[in-house]
A and B are shown apart, each in its own frame.
Chain A
Amino acid sequence: MDLLKWFEVRGKSLFYISYSLHRITGLILVLYLVMHLSYLTSLRFGEEIYESFIATTVTPTFLIFDILLVLVGVYHGVNGLRLILHEFGLAYDVRRPILYLSYFLVLVLWLYASYKLYVFIVGV
């Protein structure tokens, strides 16, 4: 067992780097999910506690973390769809253009979602 080899990207292609990023983003999303559920669980201890949590994190200061989280989520989602497509045995011969397209999609979706977040939290 050598888990660190998942992240050994020296000399590897963009396909392998995408795999490593998929693993890293997956782990980050699991951690986020635990935090997210902890937030919701805090409701059981009183609305004030929940509100104080929200007042701390849904702020312009935390916006950068939200934007990074969106990047992680969008990457994991789009890359996951690419993998599902190929794992059905489809579109293998065009896997390189699809890989580039998926990165482009990640960028576009991330920028759009970040803009929406900015408007929601900071306002225009």
Chain B
Amino acid sequence: MLKVVGMENKDKSNMGRDVIFRIKRFDGEKSYWSDFVVPAQKGMTVLEGLYYIKGTYDGSLSFRASCRMGICGSCAMKINDKPRLACETQILQLNSSKIKIEPLDNFRVLKDLITDFEGFFAKHEAVKPYLIRKDDNYAEPVELIQKPEELHAYYDFTLCIKCGACFSVCPAAATRDDYLGPAAMAAAYRFNIDTRDEGRDERMFMVCSDVGVWRCHFAAECSEVCPKNIEPAKAIQKLRFQAAVHMIKKALKRW
């Protein structure tokens, strides 16, 4: 008898089962729900399930995905009412016979699970998320020295993959489209506390505006859903303090 290596240890309960994917669709005009049966196996992710549906049942199902390992931030979507990365969410670990999948909230839906990220990235750009130096010299670049503790102060915030999960749960973003949102402000804070940076004042122009830190009401849900655990709510509260100091200094100078 042929023996398959490892088969004897295989836990039968983990062999897999059928799971219903209930997906919110949008065809440009109307919104509707589609149900598909996916034969889920142990370790199979929601993204793999979506690829299975696209390949087997409905080629018109649209979703964004790229790296399949939680780095690109393309596949963030609402899975069972919570924004998650489809590539990092295993179907069987959801412990549910029916999985509800919707596009992210607070974004305009383009098609099915694809949302418009143009505004989200524009907000990122608006806070100047890069090192600003007064002595920039690209012809003769100089090494910028930094102590390990100075790196650790901002390192966590560099891990943002711009998936939009934080923005989708933010109640301030729900009621105002031009609100910068948690990801952009976490990026602003990350560069503000970088010891190599000299552009804090330029960045504060956006951060202190009425679309900046003052609109945050600390629902803190952004930190709860962040797949990289970068704690955007923490960055915003720290940035708020910086903004207050900045505005007081500015007022005193004018006075």
Interface residues of A (CB under 8 A from B): 1-3, 5-6, 8, 10-13, 15-16, 18-19, 22, 83, 86-89, 92-93, 95
**Shortest 7 CB-CB distances between A and B: which pairs?**
A11-B81, A19-B219, A5-B174, A15-B220, A89-B241, A11-B82, A16-B221
Chain B contacts with A in 215-236, Cβ cutoff 8 A = 217-221, 224, 231, 233-234
Contact of B218 among A3, A11, A87 (CB under 8 A): A87
Nearest CB on A from B208, distance (A): 15
Contact A15-B80, Cβ < 8 Å, known A5-B175, A89-B237, A92-B237: no
Q: Which residues from chain B contact A1 at a C-beta distance below 8 Å? A: 175-176
* B interface residues, Cβ below 8 angstroms from A: 78, 80-82, 105-106, 169, 171, 174-176, 217-221, 224, 231, 233-234, 237-238, 240-241
The one of B105, B175, B217, B238 in contact with A19, judged by C-beta atoms closer than 8 angstroms, is B217
In the complex, which of the residues B78, B81, B106, B174 contacts A6, with contact meaning CB atoms closer than 8 Å?
B174
Known pairs A12-B221, A13-B221; A92 contacts B174 (CB<8 A)? no
Query: Contact at B224–A13, with CB atoms within 8 Å?
Result: yes
Q: Which residues of A contact B175 (CB under 8 A)?
A: 1-3, 5-6
Contact A10 B171 (CB under 8 A): no
Known: A3-B175, A5-B105. Is A15-B219 also a contact (CB below 8 A)? yes
| Given A6-B174, A88-B241, CB of A16 within 8 Å of CB of B219 | yes
Contact across chains for B220 and A95 when beta carbons are under 8 A apart? yes
**How many inter-chain contacts with C-beta < 8 Å in the A-B complex?**
63
Question: Main SS of chain A's interface residues?
Answer: helix
Within the complex, the shortest CB–CB distance from B192 to chain A, in Å, comes to 13
Tell me the smallest distance from the CB of B215 to a CB of chain A, in Å. 12
A54 CA / B176 CA spacing, docked (Å): 42
CB distance from B9 to the nearest CB of A (A): 36
Most central of B105, B106, B221 by chain A CB within 10 Å: B221
| A6 partner residues in chain B, CB cutoff 8 A | 171, 174-175
Find out whether the CB atom of A87 lies under 8 angstroms from the CB atom of B171.
no
Q: Which residue of B lies closest to A18 (CB)?
A: B219
Q: Give the docked Cα–Cα distance between A62 and B233 (Å).
A: 41
Asked if A2 and B174 make an inter-chain contact with CB atoms under 8 angstroms apart, the answer reads: yes
Give every chain B residue within 8 A of A19 (Cβ-Cβ): 171, 217-221
Determine how close the nearest CB of chain B comes to the CB of A96; give it in whole angstroms: 10
* Cα–Cα, bound, A18→B224 (Å): 14
Give the residue name and chain of the B residue nearest to A16 (CB).
Answer: B221
Closest CB in chain B relative to A43 CB, distance in Å:
37
Contact present for A87 and B174 (CB under 8 Å): no
Closest approach, in angstroms, between the C-beta of A11 and any C-beta of chain B?
3
Interface centre among B80, B169, B219 (most CB of A within 10 A): B219
User: Nearest residue in B to A2 (C-beta to C-beta)?
Assistant: B174
Given contacts A6-B171, A6-B174, A10-B81, contact A15 B221 (CB under 8 A): yes
* Residues A16 and B169 in contact, CB atoms below 8 Å apart: yes
Q: Is the pair A86, B174 in contact by a Cβ cutoff of 8 Å? A: no
Q: 17 A–B contact pairs at CB < 8 A?
A: A1-B176, A5-B171, A12-B169, A12-B221, A13-B220, A15-B219, A15-B220, A15-B221, A16-B219, A16-B221, A19-B219, A22-B217, A86-B218, A87-B237, A88-B237, A89-B238, A95-B220
A4 to chain B, nearest CB (A): 9
Residues in B with CB closer than 8 Å to A18 are 219
Chain A residues lying within 8 Å of B106, measured Cβ to Cβ, are 5
Q: Closest chain B residue to A90 by CB distance?
A: B237
Q: Are A89 and B240 in contact (CB under 8 A)?
A: yes
Q: Which A residues are CB-close (under 8 A) to B80? A: 11
